[in-house]
Structure 1
Amino acid sequence: MTTKETNADLIVNVDQPVEDITANLNTAQQILAGGQMLFVAFGALVLMPLITGLDANVALFTAGLGTLLFHLVTKGQVPIFLASSFAFVAPIAYGIQTWGIPSTMSGLFVAGVVYMLMAYAVKLKGVNFIHRLLPPVVVGPVIMVIGLGLAPMAVNMAIGKAGDGSMIFIEQDTALIISLSALLTTLLVSTMAKGVFKLVPIFSGVMVGYTLSFLFGVIDFSPIANAPWLSMPNFVAPEWNWHAILFMIPVAIAPAVEHVGDILAISNVTGKDFLKKPGLHRTLFGDGLATSASSLLGGPPNTTYSEVTGAVMLTRNFNPKIMMWAAVIAICLAFVGKFGAILQTIPVAVMGGIMILLFGTIASVGLNTLIRHQVDLSDARNLCIVSVTLIFGIGGMAFGFGAFSLQGVSLCGLVAIALNLLLPKVKSL
């Protein structure tokens, strides 16, 4: 069955229905698949608060809460998991250093409100406004940057370093054995496994990598021994601070472009146009509500996770209920001190091996967007948009001042939109 071409087809491929192999899973199987999705997101979910000085257990709790709020707003239609947004790393670090965590949380709360106001604007203007603003020549390279922009983090972790390469945790040769074994296991399970085992390629890769890490003696178990079984996350209430609020408001605008890119990516993966149903205004509002709710508890702002989109494409887990189970598991585990400690002992090499595949998968979605919609790169205008977008996003171009900077996906998304609006269209003779 095919769908009649609409304006949405300029961006989202809905010509071919995509099989959901998880449609008939029982509850236990859904919980298992949800746990796998949480494992996929966990590395980045925890890394962001650790970098900025926030509590990782709070981030775990607010990721689950934010995901449930998102699914409430979107009526449980989009297979998305929300967690810590890396777009806010520099602003949060600066805000905490300057005003402290409570004041910074007030700025993040208003940032979520800005998301919700943008959602209302999308509702008034309609989806076609977004289609005109974000044609395939803009969307394709932005989605590619979402995946490729994170490639250095994946590679650094795969060779035993911190995501930014600043520290060495595992000797490189040992790290490569661990990370490539985890990657190879994931590849083999995802392509060759049958039945329910096909649903857990990432979990399988993590288990193999963790086992090898144990055999190589690179796992530090002391955090597990020192952690209590049950513990309350270190929730922090926001304190109103106009300086922090005015600082965070501009930051909220750019990550919305990343949100659109992620929704387009998951739409292409599933073959459903989520820009129209449940609607971009609902997904944006859900993202904003999740961010504001997170800030009320001292957690980082939430965003739709590209890693999970890659896992959805890899495992074909298209059932949104799986993401809800992942959220419930995240909330429960936030109160289990020893479980959080166990997750923190997973070596960076294990997650790096998995992320190589996941981030590459996202980049492939963006490339496929250009190919499927036959974007002509021999056309000078299209070539300029794609080229500048890719280099700005992957190369790390940044504009800003002090501790605040606009870079990565946020910057290249805005640049792609600006070039598409400003560069003249030359009519062919």
Structure 2
Amino acid sequence: MNKKDYVDVEEKLPIGKTIPLSLQHLFAMVGATILVPQLTGLPPAMALFCSGIGTLLYIFATKGKIPSFIGSSFAFIGAIILVKDKYSTSVMLSGVIAAGLVYIIVAGIIKLVGVKWIDKALPPVVVGSVVALIGLSLAGTAVEMAGFSLASSVENRPLVILVAIVTLSIAIIGTTFFKGFLSVIPILIAMISGYVLSFIVGIVPEEAIHEIVSAPIFQIPQFTLPKFNRDSINAVVIMAPIAFVTLAEHIGHLYVVNSVVGRDFTKDPGLHRSILGDGLATTFAGLVGGPPNTTYGENIGVMAISKVYSVWVIAGAAILSIIMSFIGPVAALIKNIPSPVIGGVGILLFGIIASSGFRIFVDDKIDFSDKRNLIIVSVIMILGVGKTVLEFNIGAIPVTIDTIALATIVGIMLNLILPKKKKIDL
């Protein structure tokens, strides 16, 4: 570490420090990235491969100036299953490519018209709310994976909760008290400790252990080429519009990174480059057989805790992700990280993201005695925390606007519509 208490975006660290820091990012994102192909029937190893390549494409597109990790997008799960089951995986991939091209086209338009409109559409009161909401919207997932939710059916609940508590405790203790290099890898240490404890108490399923032990040393991810025919038109019509929804999520994530790192990446290297990187990553995934991609909040949480913002560390995680997609036992080990381990660190990581949103309120001195601010924040928060979903049809095409995107869109509309006036005493 440098004398200052953070590692900046452009800084390189020795390889001995970079590898564990990169592993920390890989472990933080892998649970969600692997879950998408598991839910949609796509090869998990391809998700790892596309995540790594997609992150490198993103870094290239953003001139190495934005430390963001690319992983599988949850927004497309329903569309992937619908198109894949009705037609084929190859046809579905044509829709993934179309979604990526939407991002690329939007990036081109933003390059031409500039980003001044962002300041008007997304002032701090909206950005802070959306950033906080990104963390809060993941709270239920973390709590459920940790075994705390009574609504979920969890076997060996006491042991699952024990692992989650130990994992979370180590992450908190490490973040607070570790010194030197250990202070920047508390999440990695916590997840490894939680994994080892999971083996000791016996909550790792036998089939998972068998998969890890019997996996071939070297494997080639299952590549699938896209197919373009008449059915592809339907795939494009169903999947391309979802990209407009996830654009709002992408911008929200970028503002979280802005808040954590202390830079305005919408200006340098520019929002258009960030969106372009996401579009290139998704287009590449569609060309080889992976799921659509997006920037990941889990990795933003890791940066907030470690204060290591180096894009070289992110690139290292991307390279490790690619390598591990070819190593059977390692890919299986990562794939089978126990849920309470992910849930335990998730409670801290997602909470840190939410706190970043509240920090924006403080830094920009948002006045909550202003009725306008109060309404905007209240509506965004409740729509998001309540996991509001808007479903409708455009002709015969089903369209779903999910939680974060819907809350962001409503927040932007309220900001543009509500007059700036009057204060109320609370």
TM range, smaller chain: over 0.9
Query: What is the Cα deviation at residue 24 of structure 1?
Result: 5.7
Alignment check: 8 A CA contact 1:112 1:292 kept: yes
Segment drifting more, 373-382 vs 137-146:
373-382
Partner of 2:125: 137
Query: What is the Cα deviation at residue 135 of structure 1?
Result: 0.5
1:266 equivalenced with 2:257 (yes/no)? yes
1:425 equivalenced with 2:420 (yes/no)? yes
Alpha-carbon distance in structure 1 between the residues aligned to 2:409 and 2:186: 35
Partner of 2:331: 340
Partner of 1:19: 6
Alpha-carbon distance in structure 2 between the residues aligned to 1:161 and 1:208: 23
Alignment check: 8 A CA contact 2:132 2:357 kept: yes
Number of paired residues? 410
Query: What is the Cα deviation at residue 401 of structure 1?
Result: 3.8
Partner of 1:91: 79
Alpha-carbon distance in structure 2 between the residues aligned to 1:189 and 1:353: 14
Alignment of 1:22-421 (within 5 A): 23=11, 25-159=13-147, 167-168=153-154, 170-220=155-205, 221-240=209-228, 241-401=232-392, 404-421=399-416
Alignment check: 8 A CA contact 1:160 1:348 kept: no
Alignment check: 8 A CA contact 1:160 1:349 kept: no
Query: What is the Cα deviation at residue 79 of structure 1?
Result: 1.1
Alpha-carbon distance in structure 1 between the residues aligned to 2:265 and 2:27: 25
Alignment check: 8 A CA contact 2:6 2:308 kept: no
Alignment check: 8 A CA contact 2:301 2:353 kept: yes
Alpha-carbon distance in structure 2 between the residues aligned to 1:308 and 1:106: 29
Q: CA RMSD in A?
A: 2.0
Alignment check: 8 A CA contact 2:12 2:312 kept: no
Segment drifting more, 75-84 vs 19-28:
19-28
CA separation of 1:251 and 1:24: change in aligned 2, threshold 3 A: closer
| Normalised TM-score (structure 1) | 0.91
CA separation of 1:63 and 1:385: change in aligned 2, threshold 3 A: same
Which residue identity is paired with 1:30?
Answer: T
Query: What is the Cα deviation at residue 160 of structure 1?
Result: 7.5
Listed one character per residue, the Cα deviations across residues 334-384 of structure 1 (whole Å, up to 9, x for unaligned) are 011111111223211111101010000100011111221122222222222
Alpha-carbon distance in structure 1 between the residues aligned to 2:415 and 2:8: 38
Alpha-carbon distance in structure 1 between the residues aligned to 2:343 and 2:50: 24
Alignment check: 8 A CA contact 1:90 1:404 kept: no
Which residue identity is paired with 1:34?
Answer: S
- Which residues of structure 2 form unaligned runs of 5+? none
| Normalised TM-score (structure 2) | 0.92
Alignment check: 8 A CA contact 1:18 1:270 kept: no
What SS does structure 1 have at the residue aligned with 2:36? helix
Which residue identity is paired with 2:213?
Answer: A
Which residue identity is paired with 2:97?
Answer: F
Alpha-carbon distance in structure 1 between the residues aligned to 2:107 and 2:80: 23
What SS does structure 1 have at the residue aligned with 2:135? helix
Query: What is the Cα deviation at residue 172 of structure 1?
Result: 1.6
Query: What is the Cα deviation at residue 324 of structure 1?
Result: 0.4
What SS does structure 1 have at the residue aligned with 2:76? helix
Alignment check: 8 A CA contact 1:105 1:295 kept: yes
Segment drifting more, 211-220 vs 357-366:
211-220
CA separation of 1:292 and 1:187: change in aligned 2, threshold 3 A: same
- Which residues of structure 1 form unaligned runs of 5+? 1-16
Alpha-carbon distance in structure 1 between the residues aligned to 2:189 and 2:285: 31
Which residue identity is paired with 1:231?
Answer: Q
Alpha-carbon distance in structure 2 between the residues aligned to 1:123 and 1:195: 42
Alignment check: 8 A CA contact 2:220 2:326 kept: yes
Alignment check: 8 A CA contact 2:156 2:203 kept: no
Alpha-carbon distance in structure 1 between the residues aligned to 2:336 and 2:254: 32
Alignment check: 8 A CA contact 2:380 2:411 kept: yes
